[in-house]
Structure formats: structure tokens, C-alpha cells
Amino acid sequence: VISSLTFPTAKELQQEIKKTKSMTDKPFAVNVTMLPTIRPVNYEEYFNAAIEEGVNIIETSGRSPEPYMKLLKDAKVTVMHRATRVRDIRTAERVGVDAVTIIGFEAAGHPGMEDVTSLVRIPIAVDAVK
């Protein structure tokens, strides 16, 4: 998984995707984390960079991918969403994501505000969605 916001611009992400494609013929994903930032981020540019390079798996996190679902689905992208709370999992299901990754306190990055592990979260999430 390539973390898109590691790159200051979508153009730099696009170059990293090209580099990755030159190193493997295996599928890989791009993560777009949509959290509050100091500098405004045009997430659509990052999504488009991945789509233009033929990335067909995009993982979102931080907030609902709903504003971008049409763009992603029109491009036939498989959308995964990282979530910690049942309400976020239900939202992801409602807006049409293909898969949800449940993350707990032990995860790196932004595992939510509560100190709850994946072993607790996963059964709750399974019971909460279809």
C-alpha cells in the first residue's frame, strides 16, 4: 500500500506509482487518508493520479469517502475503508465501499480515540453490518 499523503503533490504520487509498477507485476493499493491538515489537500487530485496510473484498489481512511465514491466507482476501483467505530463501518457500507478494514488501538496511524483493540472491535463490527 502506497500512502498518498507521503507525497506533497499528486504528481509525485503518480511518479511513485510508476516506480512501483516497474518493480512488480503484483497488485497494490494506494491509501488516501483524509484527516484535517495544516495545508489544504485536493484529495480528488490524488484519487485521479492513482486512477490514471491504473491502480484498481484504493484504501480510504480518516473520514467518509462518500464525496469521491462516484469518481472511484466510475473508474472501477475497489474501495477499501479503514474504520474504528461501528458508525463509521455502517457509513462505509451505506456509501458503497467494497471492504472495510477494522483497526484497533494496536494499529499504527490513527486508530481512533478509544483504547480498544481489534480483537474487541472485529466481532462488534461483524455483528453491525451485512
Task: Render each residue's pLDDT in the chain as its tens digit; 130 residues.
Answer: 999 989 999 999 999 999 999 999 999 999 999 988 888 899 999 999 999 999 999 999 999 999 999 999 999 999 999 998 889 999 999 999 999 988 876 665 555 556 667 777 778 788 888 7
- List the chain domain ranges: 2-128
Which pTM was predicted? 0.86
The sign one gets for the Cα dihedral 29, 75, 19, 15 is: negative
| Domain 2-128 top-level CATH class | alpha beta
